[in-house]
Amino acid sequence: MSYGARVLYAFDGGPHGDWAVTGMSTLCGDGLPVVAGLSIRAGDTSAPAPPTWTLAGVASHLRYTLREEYSELTARGSPLGRGEARLAALIPISKSDAWWALAQDERRRIYEDQSRHTSIGMEYLPQIARRLHHGRDLGEPFDFLTWFEFAPEHESLLDELLARLRDSLEWTYVEREVDIRLTRAV
């Protein structure tokens, strides 16, 4: 797992894709049109067929992560694309203007010191692999797109992880969130 590369990813929702959509839930804010499939393009800006919607984000350097957390994430994390990880979730979220008005150190205190975002996430490694994509600076409709992959027997772990994060102070700043569940179609 590499946390330093800067790569643009596009998530194309449409009538078919490499991943079959098994559920879409809008948790807050505006939802997305329901689609049957999802494909992911890395570093490619041309969609093979016009999708119903496209969400884009850049996977790049970790922003709120301390050196010791980075080292632990790298050591404990698991790669995406593992054969047994036949299920996935795409969680697009946007945070409020109040969140972005906070200074970096204030966001870090809420993110980790109070909400324990990284610490909670590490408890689910290596069973739940993830990659975060930043869309805010690209002018995208969502600030973050988090991609999770996991084996079917670990779906309850993902649900537990998401419930714990959503029950934190950090999540009071989320004003738009969609939970898209998928299964590998190919």
Residue 68 has a pLDDT of 75
Give the bridge partners for 21, in sequence order.
Answer: 182
pLDDT digits (tens, 9 = 90+) for 110-167: 988 899 888 899 899 899 999 999 999 899 999 999 999 999 999 999 999 999 999 9
- This prediction's pTM: 0.89
pLDDT digits (tens, 9 = 90+) for 30-74: 999 999 999 999 986 666 778 899 999 998 766 666 567 666 666
The secondary structure of residue 32, as a DSSP letter, is -
The answer, yes or no, to whether residue 26 has pLDDT greater than 60, is: yes
The larger pLDDT score, comparing residue 2 to residue 82, is at 82
Contacts with 113 (C-beta within 8 Å, 6 or more apart), sequence order: none
CB 74 within 8 A of CB 155: no
Classify domain 56-184 at the CATH class level: alpha beta
